[in-house]
Structure 1
Protein backbone atom coordinates (compact mmCIF):
# COMPACT_ATOMS: atom_id res chain seq x y z
CA UNK A 1 0.00 0.00 0.00
CA UNK A 2 2.85 2.35 0.86
CA UNK A 3 4.59 1.48 -2.38
CA UNK A 4 1.46 2.31 -4.36
CA UNK A 5 1.17 5.69 -2.64
CA UNK A 6 4.83 6.47 -3.40
CA UNK A 7 4.32 5.40 -6.99
CA UNK A 8 1.27 7.64 -7.32
CA UNK A 9 3.26 10.58 -5.94
CA UNK A 10 6.01 9.90 -8.44
CA UNK A 11 3.52 9.71 -11.28
CA UNK A 12 1.92 12.98 -10.16
CA UNK A 13 5.31 14.68 -10.10
CA UNK A 14 6.17 13.26 -13.51
CA UNK A 15 2.90 14.59 -14.88
CA UNK A 16 3.63 18.00 -13.34
CA UNK A 17 6.92 18.20 -15.25
CA UNK A 18 4.97 17.89 -18.49
CA UNK A 19 2.90 20.98 -17.72
CA UNK A 20 4.00 24.43 -18.98
CA UNK A 21 4.84 25.46 -15.42
CA UNK A 22 6.98 22.39 -14.80
CA UNK A 23 8.77 22.75 -18.12
CA UNK A 24 9.61 26.36 -17.29
CA UNK A 25 11.03 25.37 -13.87
CA UNK A 26 13.18 22.66 -15.42
CA UNK A 27 14.58 24.87 -18.17
CA UNK A 28 15.29 27.73 -15.75
CA UNK A 29 17.08 25.46 -13.25
CA UNK A 30 19.14 23.85 -15.99
CA UNK A 31 20.29 27.29 -17.12
CA UNK A 32 21.27 28.24 -13.56
CA UNK A 33 23.12 24.97 -12.96
CA UNK A 34 25.03 25.16 -16.21
CA UNK A 35 26.57 28.40 -14.99
CA UNK A 36 26.90 27.39 -11.35
CA UNK A 37 28.67 24.09 -12.07
CA UNK A 38 31.08 25.67 -14.54
CA UNK A 39 34.69 25.31 -13.50
CA UNK A 40 34.12 22.51 -10.96
CA UNK A 41 36.50 19.61 -11.48
CA UNK A 42 37.14 16.49 -9.49
CA UNK A 43 36.96 12.72 -9.36
CA UNK A 44 33.62 12.18 -7.66
CA UNK A 45 30.34 14.12 -8.00
CA UNK A 46 27.22 13.35 -5.99
CA UNK A 47 23.62 14.42 -6.57
CA UNK A 48 21.26 14.06 -3.61
CA UNK A 49 17.61 14.01 -4.58
CA UNK A 50 15.95 13.53 -7.95
CA UNK A 51 13.16 16.04 -7.63
CA UNK A 52 13.68 17.18 -11.22
CA UNK A 53 13.22 13.61 -12.46
CA UNK A 54 16.56 13.63 -14.26
CA UNK A 55 20.28 13.78 -13.74
CA UNK A 56 21.68 17.25 -13.25
CA UNK A 57 24.98 16.09 -14.77
CA UNK A 58 25.87 12.93 -16.73
CA UNK A 59 27.48 9.85 -15.22
CA UNK A 60 30.84 10.86 -16.61
CA UNK A 61 31.96 14.09 -18.24
CA UNK A 62 35.03 16.27 -18.68
CA UNK A 63 34.62 18.03 -15.33
CA UNK A 64 33.76 15.17 -12.96
CA UNK A 65 35.11 11.70 -13.57
CA UNK A 66 32.23 9.83 -11.93
CA UNK A 67 28.79 11.14 -10.89
CA UNK A 68 26.14 9.31 -8.90
CA UNK A 69 22.57 10.01 -7.79
CA UNK A 70 21.40 9.02 -4.31
CA UNK A 71 17.76 9.33 -3.37
CA UNK A 72 15.71 8.35 -0.31
CA UNK A 73 14.03 4.98 -0.70
CA UNK A 74 10.55 6.47 -0.57
CA UNK A 75 11.32 8.76 -3.52
CA UNK A 76 13.20 6.30 -5.72
CA UNK A 77 10.40 5.79 -8.22
CA UNK A 78 11.06 9.03 -10.04
CA UNK A 79 14.06 9.65 -12.25
CA UNK A 80 17.29 7.76 -12.68
CA UNK A 81 18.74 6.74 -9.31
CA UNK A 82 21.96 4.83 -8.70
CA UNK A 83 21.64 4.20 -4.95
CA UNK A 84 18.64 4.24 -2.62
CA UNK A 85 19.78 5.37 0.82
CA UNK A 86 18.93 7.65 3.68
CA UNK A 87 20.59 11.02 2.92
CA UNK A 88 21.21 11.51 6.64
CA UNK A 89 23.41 8.36 6.66
CA UNK A 90 25.21 8.22 3.34
CA UNK A 91 27.10 5.00 2.47
CA UNK A 92 30.13 7.04 1.39
CA UNK A 93 33.58 7.34 2.92
CA UNK A 94 34.51 10.48 4.81
CA UNK A 95 36.05 13.28 2.72
CA UNK A 96 35.76 11.47 -0.61
CA UNK A 97 33.36 13.66 -2.67
CA UNK A 98 34.43 16.72 -4.68
CA UNK A 99 31.00 18.22 -5.56
CA UNK A 100 27.59 17.67 -3.94
CA UNK A 101 24.38 18.97 -5.51
CA UNK A 102 21.19 19.18 -3.43
CA UNK A 103 18.20 19.12 -5.75
CA UNK A 104 15.50 20.65 -3.49
CA UNK A 105 16.26 18.04 -0.84
CA UNK A 106 16.46 20.56 2.01
CA UNK A 107 12.83 21.43 1.29
CA UNK A 108 11.71 17.80 1.50
CA UNK A 109 13.41 16.40 4.60
CA UNK A 110 11.95 17.16 8.05
CA UNK A 111 15.37 17.89 9.61
CA UNK A 112 17.80 19.74 7.29
CA UNK A 113 20.58 20.32 9.85
CA UNK A 114 21.66 16.65 10.17
CA UNK A 115 21.62 16.44 6.39
CA UNK A 116 24.06 19.34 6.07
CA UNK A 117 26.35 17.80 8.69
CA UNK A 118 26.38 14.52 6.78
CA UNK A 119 27.28 16.35 3.58
CA UNK A 120 30.06 18.12 5.43
CA UNK A 121 31.40 14.70 6.44
CA UNK A 122 31.66 13.31 2.90
CA UNK A 123 32.97 16.50 1.23
CA UNK A 124 36.72 16.92 0.83
CA UNK A 125 38.53 20.07 1.88
CA UNK A 126 37.82 22.88 -0.60
CA UNK A 127 34.91 20.78 -1.94
CA UNK A 128 31.84 22.48 -3.39
CA UNK A 129 28.22 22.29 -2.29
CA UNK A 130 25.47 23.42 -4.69
CA UNK A 131 22.00 23.97 -3.20
CA UNK A 132 18.96 24.31 -5.47
CA UNK A 133 15.88 25.79 -3.83
CA UNK A 134 12.82 28.00 -4.13
CA UNK A 135 12.73 31.55 -2.82
CA UNK A 136 9.99 31.96 -0.18
CA UNK A 137 10.14 35.77 -0.53
CA UNK A 138 8.83 35.84 -4.08
CA UNK A 139 5.63 35.40 -6.02
CA UNK A 140 6.37 31.66 -6.10
CA UNK A 141 6.66 31.52 -2.34
CA UNK A 142 3.41 33.43 -1.94
CA UNK A 143 1.65 31.07 -4.34
CA UNK A 144 2.91 28.02 -2.43
CA UNK A 145 1.70 29.40 0.90
CA UNK A 146 -1.72 30.19 -0.53
CA UNK A 147 -2.07 26.85 -2.27
CA UNK A 148 -3.14 23.89 -0.15
CA UNK A 149 -3.26 21.25 -2.85
CA UNK A 150 0.51 21.17 -3.44
CA UNK A 151 0.11 21.41 -7.20
CA UNK A 152 2.22 24.52 -7.59
CA UNK A 153 5.43 22.96 -6.24
CA UNK A 154 4.92 19.24 -5.50
CA UNK A 155 6.75 17.38 -2.73
CA UNK A 156 7.98 20.35 -0.73
CA UNK A 157 7.54 20.59 3.04
CA UNK A 158 8.77 24.18 3.36
CA UNK A 159 10.63 26.81 1.35
CA UNK A 160 14.02 27.83 2.76
CA UNK A 161 15.51 31.16 1.79
CA UNK A 162 19.01 31.62 0.51
CA UNK A 163 19.93 33.75 3.54
CA UNK A 164 18.98 30.98 5.96
CA UNK A 165 21.00 28.41 4.03
CA UNK A 166 23.92 30.83 4.05
CA UNK A 167 23.71 31.16 7.85
CA UNK A 168 23.60 27.39 8.31
CA UNK A 169 26.63 26.87 6.11
CA UNK A 170 28.61 29.62 7.81
CA UNK A 171 28.27 27.74 11.10
CA UNK A 172 29.75 24.67 9.43
CA UNK A 173 32.70 26.64 8.07
CA UNK A 174 31.66 27.24 4.45
CA UNK A 175 32.27 30.25 2.24
CA UNK A 176 29.49 31.16 -0.20
CA UNK A 177 31.11 31.85 -3.57
CA UNK A 178 28.13 32.30 -5.89
CA UNK A 179 24.34 32.85 -5.75
CA UNK A 180 22.15 32.93 -8.86
CA UNK A 181 18.41 33.60 -9.09
CA UNK A 182 15.89 32.49 -11.68
CA UNK A 183 12.15 31.91 -12.20
CA UNK A 184 11.27 35.58 -12.65
CA UNK A 185 7.99 34.83 -14.38
CA UNK A 186 4.73 34.53 -12.47
CA UNK A 187 3.87 30.99 -11.26
CA UNK A 188 0.86 30.73 -13.51
CA UNK A 189 -0.09 28.12 -16.05
CA UNK A 190 -0.32 30.81 -18.74
CA UNK A 191 2.64 32.82 -17.51
CA UNK A 192 4.38 32.54 -20.87
CA UNK A 193 1.52 34.36 -22.57
CA UNK A 194 1.61 37.18 -20.03
CA UNK A 195 5.37 37.61 -20.28
CA UNK A 196 5.16 37.77 -24.05
CA UNK A 197 2.76 40.68 -23.72
CA UNK A 198 4.47 42.35 -20.75
CA UNK A 199 8.15 41.28 -20.60
CA UNK A 200 8.65 42.72 -17.12
CA UNK A 201 10.50 39.58 -15.97
CA UNK A 202 13.55 40.79 -17.89
CA UNK A 203 13.59 43.97 -15.82
CA UNK A 204 13.38 41.88 -12.63
CA UNK A 205 16.23 39.61 -13.71
CA UNK A 206 18.46 42.62 -14.39
CA UNK A 207 17.66 45.08 -11.64
CA UNK A 208 16.10 42.92 -8.89
CA UNK A 209 17.41 39.37 -9.32
CA UNK A 210 16.74 38.49 -5.66
CA UNK A 211 12.99 38.55 -6.39
CA UNK A 212 13.27 35.41 -8.52
CA UNK A 213 11.31 32.34 -7.50
CA UNK A 214 14.29 29.99 -7.47
CA UNK A 215 18.00 30.12 -6.72
CA UNK A 216 21.19 28.10 -6.62
CA UNK A 217 23.81 28.66 -3.94
CA UNK A 218 27.42 27.53 -4.34
CA UNK A 219 29.55 27.16 -1.20
CA UNK A 220 33.12 26.00 -0.66
CA UNK A 221 34.20 23.93 2.31
CA UNK A 222 36.84 25.77 4.24
CA UNK A 223 39.97 23.82 5.10
CA UNK A 224 40.58 23.72 8.83
CA UNK A 225 44.34 24.07 9.24
CA UNK A 226 46.08 23.56 12.55
CA UNK A 227 48.74 26.11 13.43
CA UNK A 228 51.49 24.49 15.51
CA UNK A 229 52.29 26.39 18.68
CA UNK A 230 55.95 26.95 19.44
CA UNK A 231 56.96 25.75 22.85
CA UNK A 232 57.88 28.64 25.10
CA UNK A 233 61.25 28.30 26.80
CA UNK A 234 61.03 28.78 30.51
CA UNK A 235 63.77 30.87 32.17
CA UNK A 236 65.64 28.77 34.71
CA UNK A 237 68.04 30.59 37.09
CA UNK A 238 71.59 29.33 36.90
CA UNK A 239 72.97 27.90 40.15
CA UNK A 240 76.56 28.44 41.21
CA UNK A 241 78.45 25.23 42.06
CA UNK A 242 79.41 24.77 45.71
CA UNK A 243 83.14 24.76 45.02
CA UNK A 244 83.00 28.11 43.35
CA UNK A 245 80.79 29.80 45.90
CA UNK A 246 83.70 31.71 47.45
CA UNK A 247 84.89 33.02 44.11
CA UNK A 248 81.44 34.16 43.34
CA UNK A 249 81.22 36.30 46.49
CA UNK A 250 82.67 39.84 46.48
CA UNK A 251 86.16 40.06 48.13
CA UNK A 252 86.96 42.87 50.60
CA UNK A 253 90.59 43.90 49.98
CA UNK A 254 90.72 46.50 52.78
CA UNK A 255 92.76 45.31 55.79
CA UNK A 256 92.09 46.08 59.45
CA UNK A 257 95.24 48.24 59.76
CA UNK A 258 94.13 50.45 56.95
CA UNK A 259 90.81 50.73 58.67
Structure 2
Protein backbone atom coordinates (compact mmCIF):
# COMPACT_ATOMS: atom_id res chain seq x y z
CA UNK A 1 0.00 0.00 0.00
CA UNK A 2 1.66 3.22 -1.20
CA UNK A 3 1.21 6.73 0.11
CA UNK A 4 2.22 10.14 -1.06
CA UNK A 5 5.94 10.70 -0.55
CA UNK A 6 6.45 13.56 1.87
CA UNK A 7 9.47 15.07 3.62
CA UNK A 8 10.45 13.65 6.98
CA UNK A 9 8.55 14.89 10.00
CA UNK A 10 11.50 16.79 11.54
CA UNK A 11 11.79 18.66 8.25
CA UNK A 12 8.06 19.41 8.15
CA UNK A 13 7.67 20.48 11.78
CA UNK A 14 8.73 24.16 11.47
CA UNK A 15 6.45 24.80 8.48
CA UNK A 16 3.65 22.79 10.07
CA UNK A 17 3.84 24.80 13.29
CA UNK A 18 3.77 28.04 11.32
CA UNK A 19 0.68 26.88 9.46
CA UNK A 20 -1.16 26.02 12.68
CA UNK A 21 -0.29 29.53 13.92
CA UNK A 22 -1.94 31.12 10.88
CA UNK A 23 -5.54 32.35 10.93
CA UNK A 24 -6.69 29.39 8.86
CA UNK A 25 -4.87 26.92 11.10
CA UNK A 26 -6.27 28.50 14.26
CA UNK A 27 -9.81 28.35 12.87
CA UNK A 28 -9.36 24.68 12.08
CA UNK A 29 -8.06 23.93 15.59
CA UNK A 30 -11.00 25.79 17.08
CA UNK A 31 -13.48 23.64 15.15
CA UNK A 32 -11.60 20.48 16.09
CA UNK A 33 -11.75 21.41 19.78
CA UNK A 34 -15.47 22.10 19.51
CA UNK A 35 -16.11 18.68 17.99
CA UNK A 36 -13.91 16.95 20.57
CA UNK A 37 -15.87 18.67 23.35
CA UNK A 38 -18.87 16.65 22.15
CA UNK A 39 -17.00 13.33 22.25
CA UNK A 40 -14.37 13.34 25.02
CA UNK A 41 -16.67 13.99 28.03
CA UNK A 42 -18.26 10.57 27.47
CA UNK A 43 -14.94 8.66 27.43
CA UNK A 44 -13.82 7.64 30.91
CA UNK A 45 -10.73 6.00 32.32
CA UNK A 46 -7.45 6.65 34.08
CA UNK A 47 -4.98 7.21 31.22
CA UNK A 48 -5.23 9.30 28.03
CA UNK A 49 -2.45 9.79 25.49
CA UNK A 50 -2.44 12.13 22.50
CA UNK A 51 -0.35 11.54 19.39
CA UNK A 52 0.27 14.94 17.85
CA UNK A 53 2.53 16.57 15.30
CA UNK A 54 2.58 19.86 17.23
CA UNK A 55 3.67 19.55 20.85
CA UNK A 56 1.96 22.84 21.75
CA UNK A 57 -1.53 21.56 20.90
CA UNK A 58 -3.33 19.85 23.78
CA UNK A 59 -6.89 18.77 23.06
CA UNK A 60 -7.86 16.89 26.24
CA UNK A 61 -9.23 19.84 28.27
CA UNK A 62 -12.80 18.49 28.19
CA UNK A 63 -11.81 14.90 29.06
CA UNK A 64 -12.74 13.45 32.48
CA UNK A 65 -9.66 11.18 32.39
CA UNK A 66 -7.38 11.88 35.36
CA UNK A 67 -3.93 11.42 33.78
CA UNK A 68 -3.43 12.94 30.31
CA UNK A 69 -0.17 13.35 28.41
CA UNK A 70 1.05 13.74 24.84
CA UNK A 71 3.66 12.10 22.62
CA UNK A 72 5.82 14.62 20.78
CA UNK A 73 7.95 13.70 17.74
CA UNK A 74 11.06 15.52 18.94
CA UNK A 75 12.50 17.37 21.92
CA UNK A 76 11.73 21.09 21.97
CA UNK A 77 12.31 24.02 24.30
CA UNK A 78 9.51 24.82 26.69
CA UNK A 79 8.01 21.32 26.79
CA UNK A 80 6.17 20.49 30.00
CA UNK A 81 6.25 17.29 32.02
CA UNK A 82 3.06 15.93 30.44
CA UNK A 83 4.88 15.05 27.21
CA UNK A 84 6.86 12.06 26.04
CA UNK A 85 9.34 12.27 23.15
CA UNK A 86 8.92 9.28 20.85
CA UNK A 87 8.05 8.28 17.31
CA UNK A 88 4.36 7.70 16.74
CA UNK A 89 4.99 4.33 15.05
CA UNK A 90 7.31 3.14 17.88
CA UNK A 91 5.70 4.11 21.16
CA UNK A 92 7.50 3.01 24.37
CA UNK A 93 4.28 2.18 26.23
CA UNK A 94 3.17 -1.21 27.52
CA UNK A 95 0.41 -3.27 25.95
CA UNK A 96 -3.17 -2.36 26.88
CA UNK A 97 -2.15 0.47 29.20
CA UNK A 98 -4.29 3.36 27.86
CA UNK A 99 -8.01 4.01 28.22
CA UNK A 100 -8.22 6.72 25.54
CA UNK A 101 -5.88 7.26 22.58
CA UNK A 102 -6.23 10.48 20.58
CA UNK A 103 -4.55 10.74 17.17
CA UNK A 104 -4.41 14.38 16.08
CA UNK A 105 -3.26 14.40 12.43
CA UNK A 106 -0.77 11.71 13.40
CA UNK A 107 -1.86 9.60 10.42
CA UNK A 108 -1.48 12.51 7.99
CA UNK A 109 2.21 13.14 8.60
CA UNK A 110 4.00 9.82 8.92
CA UNK A 111 5.62 7.43 6.43
CA UNK A 112 3.56 4.51 7.82
CA UNK A 113 0.07 5.55 8.98
CA UNK A 114 -1.12 1.96 9.29
CA UNK A 115 1.75 1.23 11.70
CA UNK A 116 0.80 4.26 13.81
CA UNK A 117 -2.77 2.97 14.00
CA UNK A 118 -1.49 -0.47 14.93
CA UNK A 119 0.55 1.01 17.78
CA UNK A 120 -2.48 2.92 19.00
CA UNK A 121 -4.51 -0.30 19.05
CA UNK A 122 -1.72 -2.16 20.83
CA UNK A 123 -1.55 0.20 23.81
CA UNK A 124 -5.35 0.53 24.07
CA UNK A 125 -7.07 -1.42 26.84
CA UNK A 126 -10.04 -3.68 26.02
CA UNK A 127 -13.09 -1.47 26.18
CA UNK A 128 -10.96 1.65 25.60
CA UNK A 129 -11.65 4.25 22.93
CA UNK A 130 -9.67 5.55 19.98
CA UNK A 131 -10.27 9.03 18.52
CA UNK A 132 -8.77 9.80 15.10
CA UNK A 133 -8.69 13.32 13.65
CA UNK A 134 -7.35 13.81 10.14
CA UNK A 135 -7.80 15.82 6.97
CA UNK A 136 -10.74 14.80 4.82
CA UNK A 137 -10.10 14.06 1.11
CA UNK A 138 -13.81 14.62 0.35
CA UNK A 139 -13.71 18.31 1.23
CA UNK A 140 -13.12 21.63 -0.48
CA UNK A 141 -9.50 21.39 0.64
CA UNK A 142 -8.62 18.53 -1.70
CA UNK A 143 -8.38 20.57 -4.95
CA UNK A 144 -5.70 22.73 -3.38
CA UNK A 145 -3.57 19.65 -2.80
CA UNK A 146 -3.40 19.06 -6.55
CA UNK A 147 -1.31 22.20 -7.13
CA UNK A 148 2.26 21.22 -7.88
CA UNK A 149 3.80 24.02 -5.86
CA UNK A 150 1.93 22.86 -2.72
CA UNK A 151 2.49 19.11 -2.78
CA UNK A 152 5.57 19.35 -0.56
CA UNK A 153 4.26 22.01 1.85
CA UNK A 154 2.11 21.33 4.92
CA UNK A 155 -0.67 20.67 5.40
CA UNK A 156 -1.21 19.86 1.70
CA UNK A 157 1.47 17.16 1.70
CA UNK A 158 -0.53 15.16 4.25
CA UNK A 159 -2.01 11.80 3.36
CA UNK A 160 -5.68 12.89 3.67
CA UNK A 161 -6.87 9.32 4.39
CA UNK A 162 -10.37 8.46 3.28
CA UNK A 163 -12.96 7.22 5.73
CA UNK A 164 -13.34 3.97 3.80
CA UNK A 165 -9.65 3.13 4.13
CA UNK A 166 -9.61 4.04 7.80
CA UNK A 167 -12.68 1.89 8.44
CA UNK A 168 -10.98 -1.09 6.79
CA UNK A 169 -7.93 -0.66 9.02
CA UNK A 170 -10.12 -0.45 12.12
CA UNK A 171 -11.86 -3.70 11.21
CA UNK A 172 -8.54 -5.46 10.69
CA UNK A 173 -7.45 -4.34 14.16
CA UNK A 174 -10.78 -5.53 15.62
CA UNK A 175 -11.87 -2.02 16.55
CA UNK A 176 -15.56 -1.16 16.40
CA UNK A 177 -16.37 2.20 14.81
CA UNK A 178 -18.91 4.16 16.86
CA UNK A 179 -19.03 7.63 15.28
CA UNK A 180 -17.95 9.46 12.16
CA UNK A 181 -18.14 13.25 12.32
CA UNK A 182 -16.84 16.06 10.17
CA UNK A 183 -16.25 19.78 10.63
CA UNK A 184 -15.16 23.08 9.06
CA UNK A 185 -16.92 23.26 5.70
CA UNK A 186 -15.24 26.50 4.56
CA UNK A 187 -12.73 26.49 1.67
CA UNK A 188 -9.04 26.96 2.58
CA UNK A 189 -8.70 30.61 1.58
CA UNK A 190 -5.80 32.39 3.26
CA UNK A 191 -7.72 35.67 3.06
CA UNK A 192 -10.19 36.00 5.92
CA UNK A 193 -12.54 38.12 3.81
CA UNK A 194 -12.89 35.36 1.26
CA UNK A 195 -13.63 32.85 4.01
CA UNK A 196 -16.22 35.22 5.46
CA UNK A 197 -18.03 35.30 2.12
CA UNK A 198 -18.42 31.53 2.30
CA UNK A 199 -19.96 31.44 5.79
CA UNK A 200 -23.22 30.30 4.24
CA UNK A 201 -21.60 26.87 3.84
CA UNK A 202 -21.63 26.43 7.62
CA UNK A 203 -25.35 25.68 7.52
CA UNK A 204 -24.46 22.29 6.05
CA UNK A 205 -22.23 21.65 9.05
CA UNK A 206 -24.97 22.60 11.49
CA UNK A 207 -27.46 20.48 9.60
CA UNK A 208 -25.14 17.47 9.54
CA UNK A 209 -25.45 17.07 5.76
CA UNK A 210 -22.75 14.66 4.60
CA UNK A 211 -19.16 14.35 5.74
CA UNK A 212 -17.52 16.99 3.58
CA UNK A 213 -15.73 19.09 6.19
CA UNK A 214 -12.03 19.87 6.11
CA UNK A 215 -11.36 17.29 8.84
CA UNK A 216 -12.94 14.06 9.98
CA UNK A 217 -13.32 12.62 13.47
CA UNK A 218 -13.71 8.87 13.92
CA UNK A 219 -14.47 7.29 17.28
CA UNK A 220 -13.79 3.57 17.75
CA UNK A 221 -13.82 1.12 20.65
CA UNK A 222 -11.62 -1.88 21.35
CA UNK A 223 -14.07 -4.66 22.15
CA UNK A 224 -13.21 -7.93 23.88
CA UNK A 225 -13.91 -10.98 21.75
CA UNK A 226 -16.30 -13.49 23.27
CA UNK A 227 -17.96 -11.14 25.75
CA UNK A 228 -21.75 -10.78 25.68
CA UNK A 229 -23.25 -7.52 26.94
CA UNK A 230 -25.64 -7.85 29.89
CA UNK A 231 -29.19 -6.97 28.98
CA UNK A 232 -31.44 -4.92 31.16
CA UNK A 233 -34.17 -6.52 33.25
CA UNK A 234 -36.91 -5.42 30.84
CA UNK A 235 -35.92 -8.07 28.30
CA UNK A 236 -35.49 -10.94 30.74
CA UNK A 237 -38.20 -13.46 31.52
CA UNK A 238 -39.72 -13.41 34.95
CA UNK A 239 -38.92 -16.25 37.30
CA UNK A 240 -41.66 -18.84 37.76
CA UNK A 241 -42.76 -19.29 41.36
CA UNK A 242 -42.75 -22.99 42.24
CA UNK A 243 -45.51 -23.82 44.74
CA UNK A 244 -44.24 -25.41 47.94
CA UNK A 245 -46.51 -27.56 50.10
CA UNK A 246 -47.28 -26.11 53.51
CA UNK A 247 -46.58 -28.23 56.59
CA UNK A 248 -49.61 -30.14 57.86
CA UNK A 249 -50.98 -30.09 61.38
CA UNK A 250 -49.66 -33.64 61.97
CA UNK A 251 -46.18 -32.49 61.13
CA UNK A 252 -46.42 -29.58 63.53
CA UNK A 253 -47.55 -31.88 66.35
CA UNK A 254 -44.53 -34.13 65.80
CA UNK A 255 -42.21 -31.12 65.97
CA UNK A 256 -43.80 -30.00 69.21
CA UNK A 257 -43.22 -33.43 70.71
TM range (shorter): 0.7 to 0.9
CA distance in 2, matches of 1:52, 1:183: 23
| Equivalent-residue separation in structure 1 for 2:156 and 2:198 (angstroms) | 31
Which residue matches 1:173?
Answer: 174
Tell me the alpha carbon deviations over residues 215-254 of structure 1, each in whole angstroms, 9 at most, x when there is no partner. 1110001112379xxxxxxxxxxxxxxxxxxxxxxxxxxx
Is the 2:52–2:104 contact (alpha carbons within 8 Å) kept by the matching residues of 1? yes
Structure 1 residues not aligned, in runs of 5+ = 228-259
Q: Shift of the alpha carbon at 1:182?
A: 0.7
The corresponding residue for 2:46 is: 43
TM-score (normalizing by structure 1): 0.74
Question: Is the Cα contact below 8 Å between 1:175 and 1:222 reproduced in 2?
Answer: yes
Q: TM-score, with normalisation over the residues of structure 2?
A: 0.74
- 8 Å CA contact retained: 1:98, 1:124: yes
Listed as ranges, the gaps of 5+ residues in structure 2 are 1-7, 229-257
Alpha-carbon offset, residue 39 of structure 1: 0.7
Residue number in structure 1 paired with 2:56? 53
- Give the 4+ runs in structure 1 shifted more than 6 A: 5-8
Q: Secondary structure at the match of 2:68?
A: strand
Contact 2:43-2:63 within 8 A present in 1 as well:
no
Q: CA RMSD in A?
A: 2.8
Matches of 1:114 and 1:26 in 2, distance apart? Answer: 25
- Residue 226 to residue 8, structure 1, CA distance change in 2 (3 Å): closer
Q: Report how many aligned residue pairs link the two structures.
A: 218
Change in 2 beyond 3 A, CA 1:41/1:79: farther
Q: Within 5 Å, give how 1:103-118 maps onto structure 2.
A: 103-118=104-119
Q: Is the 8 A contact 1:14 1:78 kept in 2?
A: no
Deviates more, 1:140-149 or 1:214-223: 140-149
Return closer, same or farther for 1:195/1:107 CA change in 2, 3 Å cut-off.
closer
**Whole-Å Cα distance in 1 between the matches of residues 39 and 148 of structure 2?**
30
Name the larger-Rg structure. 1
Distance in 2, matches of 1:64 and 1:80, equals: 21
* 2:222 corresponding residue in structure 1: 221
Partner deviation per Cα, 1:49-85 (whole Å, 9 max, x = no partner): 2337311125xx7611101111223xx4488461111
